[in-house]
Each structure stands twice: as structure tokens, then as C-alpha cells.
Amino acid sequence: MRLLIDIGNTNLHWTLDGPGTAWSVASVRHSGGIPPDLIAAWERLSPPERILVSHVAGPGLAESLTRVARALWRVEPEFVRVIQGYGGIQVAYSQPERLGVDRWLALLAARRLHQEATLILDAGTAATFDLLLADGRHLGGLILPGIELMRSSLFAKTQIPPPAEPIKAGLAYWGTDTQSAIALGSIQALAATAERLYDRLAAESGSTPWLVLTGGDAGRIGPFLLRPWTQIADLVLRGLAEAGALDRT
């Protein structure tokens, strides 16, 4: 049995993987540490043979996870790293290790699921876009602020008063007051970027790309897209399962 853990900037997602286990993803907000409720849930697990981790949240949380894993199971977490060419993925970066490991794992999973030209939008605290050709060549990508980061930065840098309650967006294309204009603008910016990249990838590949959305805000963006799309919430964890044959790091 393997314990797969995806630690993003805001949330931690985990599941068990292996014979006799059910693929069931649980998620918690980590706030820079391992929440007590999560430790309590892990205490009920049998010791995993391996713990594979995608981690982009800073060294403090990595150290906390290592201490917890040692205390509960005497197992060292394996923090997965980008390996050029692994799984047939040729990373576009001149220094492949500088690509976020979560983005790389999403590419691994997407290629396993659908070996065609692919655009991945991971909509979390930051929104990342990655383009992949059918032969495994990663063309590169974009990084933008996520929905809430766009909104909070707008309030921080202008005289627009922040709302008393979380702002919500309907399915209109534009707002009819300041709050709805901000709500819709943050979503439409990411949707429009996805559509632009989709069209460029179609031209580059000469085929109809697969557009896959993942991340906590994927469901907020999808309804605004004017291109066909698929949502896979656990894409990074699926990539971790693919990376299970990696050497211990």
C-alpha cells in the first residue's frame, strides 16, 4: 500500500493506492502545518509501504510531514522530483527541475489518460496552464493568479471596498455592479486564456486538443469555457501513482 499526498499552496489532498485499497481522495486546508484531524485519520491506517509526495508549499510543511510520518509509521516520505524524459514527457524548461512538480505530475497523468495534444489548466491559488503534444513534448505554459488571488490583489491595490461577504458569480458574461464585475472578471480572464491557448495548441498540433481542468476552482471556470473540456479533480494524485516507480529521493 502506498500513501499518495498532494500538498498545494492551500490544500492537502491524499489517497491510498495499492492492492486491496479503494481510491478515495480526501482534502484538508493545511494552513502551513499538518492538521490534527488529518493526523487522527492517519493514525487509523496500517503503515504504508511508501509515501509519495507532491509538495509546493515550502520547507516547513515538508518537515512537519516528515516528522508525522516517522512518528506514525517509521516511514520516510519520498518527495517526488521532476525527471526529464520520465513517462515520455520532454519538459520544455531548459532546467526541467524548475518546473513545478505538481505541473509535471499532471502532465504524466494526462499523457497516460489521453495520448493526444493536451492543455491542462490547474486552477488553484495560482492558475497554471501547460501544453503537451501527442508525442510527449511539453511546449511550456503560463502562470496567472488564481480567482481569489486576482480578487484580493484588486481590492488591495485600489480604493474599491472589499465585500462584507464572499462574492459570487452567475453565468453572465459581464457584471451589472462592481462586485459582479470583479467576480466575473476573475473567472473570465482564466477562461479566455484557456480558450486562446487551446486554439494555439490546435494550430500547433494540427488536431483537436484535449482540455482538462483540475484544481479547486476548476468547477468555477468550466461553465464559462466555449471549448470542450473535462474536469479531473485528482490529476496530480494520478500522476503520483504513475511516478510510483521512481527511485527514492
CA atoms 181, 187, 193, 194: torsion sign? negative
Dist CA 189 CA 183 (whole Å)? 10
Q: Which residues contact 74 (CB under 8 A, 6 or more apart)?
A: 47
CB burial of residue 108 (10 Å; 0-12, 13-18, 19+) = buried
Q: Is 102 a catalytic site residue?
A: yes
Total residues found in the chain within this entry? 249
Q: Which of 17, 37, 102, 199 is catalytic?
A: 102
Cell numbers given for 155: 481590492
User: Do 198 and 217 touch, CB atoms closer than 8 A?
Assistant: no
DSSP 6: E
Residues 209, 217: contact at Cβ < 8 Å? no
Rounded distance between C-alpha atoms, residue 110 and residue 138, angstroms: 12
DSSP type of residue 152? H
Query: Strands 118-123, 78-79: parallel, antiparallel or unpaired by DSSP?
Result: unpaired
Alpha carbons 127 and 214: distance in angstroms, whole number: 10
Q: Using CA atoms, how far apart are residues 145 and 157, in angstroms rounded to an integer?
A: 15
The binding site for substrate comprises 93, 100-103, 178
Q: Which parts are annotated binding residues? A: 6-13, 93, 100-103, 122, 125, 178
**Active-site positions?**
102
